[in-house]
């Protein structure tokens, strides 16, 4: 059975240039033509030719970080005072940390991606030795500035993450290279996400 994924994007704007665009990439390109809502001529984007081109169409690799060989689950990128910082939650497991020479639970990575061609690995927050099904992992990561928290400190940055599948922790990540654990807000759980 063949399945065809068709993605349609509807862009409706006031004035001119309103366009409906279909972009699906089966072997022969889009199966739904581009149409306009304002009567102007539609211009169909050329379809990629091969499977490799289809997956890379309109995409260019700007840089790469191996994340110390750790599998990534939920990366988020936050603009903090003009710097683009990636916070990456990792799956369960352990890998050597080249920054310390120690084998650590996969946990959380902090990477400066301000210059995407040259990402800089700033810190690794190890995951737990214990943690149920997710020992070593810290899949879920969220970050916010202290100015948006009821008891946060303006100018500080805070990270919330899962700790395996047993707890949630809060870190002060104002100094990206030296994150500091502030508290475990809940622990003894049997499943987190």
DSSP line for 147-169: GGSTTPPTT-EEEEEEETTTEEE
Tell me, yes or no, whether 1 lies in a domain.
yes
Does one domain contain both 95 and 139? yes
Which stretch of 10-19, 84-93, 122-131, 164-173 has the lowest confidence by average pLDDT?
10-19
Does one domain contain both 75 and 39? no
What total number of domains does the chain contain?
A: 2
- 118-154 per-position pLDDT tens digit: 999 999 998 877 655 556 567 789 999 999 988 889 9
For the cut 80, the answer to whether the pLDDT of residue 109 exceeds it is yes
Instruction: Judge contact between 104 and 48, C-beta under 8 A.
Output: no
Q: What's the pLDDT score for residue 45?
A: 58
User: The domain containing residue 46 runs over which residues?
Assistant: 1-59
Tell me, yes or no, whether 192 lies in a domain.
no
Q: What's the pLDDT score for residue 3?
A: 34
Does one domain contain both 116 and 47? no
- 40-92 per-position pLDDT tens digit: 666 655 555 665 555 666 678 888 888 888 888 778 999 988 999 999 988 88
| Residue 81: partners with Cβ closer than 8 Å, 6 or more residues away | none
């Amino acid at each position: 059975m063949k399945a065809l994924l068709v993605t349609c994007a509807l862009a409706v704007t006031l004035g001119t240039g309103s366009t409906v665009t279909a972009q699906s990439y089966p072997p022969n390109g889009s199966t739904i033509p581009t149409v306009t809502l304002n009567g102007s001529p539609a211009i169909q984007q050329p379809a990629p030719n091969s499977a490799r081109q289809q997956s890379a169409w309109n995409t260019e690799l700007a840089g790469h970080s191996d994340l110390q060989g750790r599998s990534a689950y939920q990366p988020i990128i936050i603009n903090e005072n003009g710097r683009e910082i990636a916070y990456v939650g990792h799956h369960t497991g352990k890998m050597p940390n080249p920054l310390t020479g120690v084998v650590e639970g996969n946990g959380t990575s902090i990477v400066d991606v301000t210059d995407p061609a040259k990402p800089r690995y700033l810190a690794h927050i190890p995951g737990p030795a214990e943690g149920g099904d997710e020992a070593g992992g810290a899949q879920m990561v969220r970050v916010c500035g202290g100015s948006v928290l009821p008891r946060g400190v303006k100018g500080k940055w805070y990270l919330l993450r899962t700790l395996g599948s047993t707890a949630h922790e809060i870190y002060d990540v104002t100094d990206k290279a030296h994150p500091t654990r502030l508290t475990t807000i809940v622990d003894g759980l049997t499943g987190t996400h």
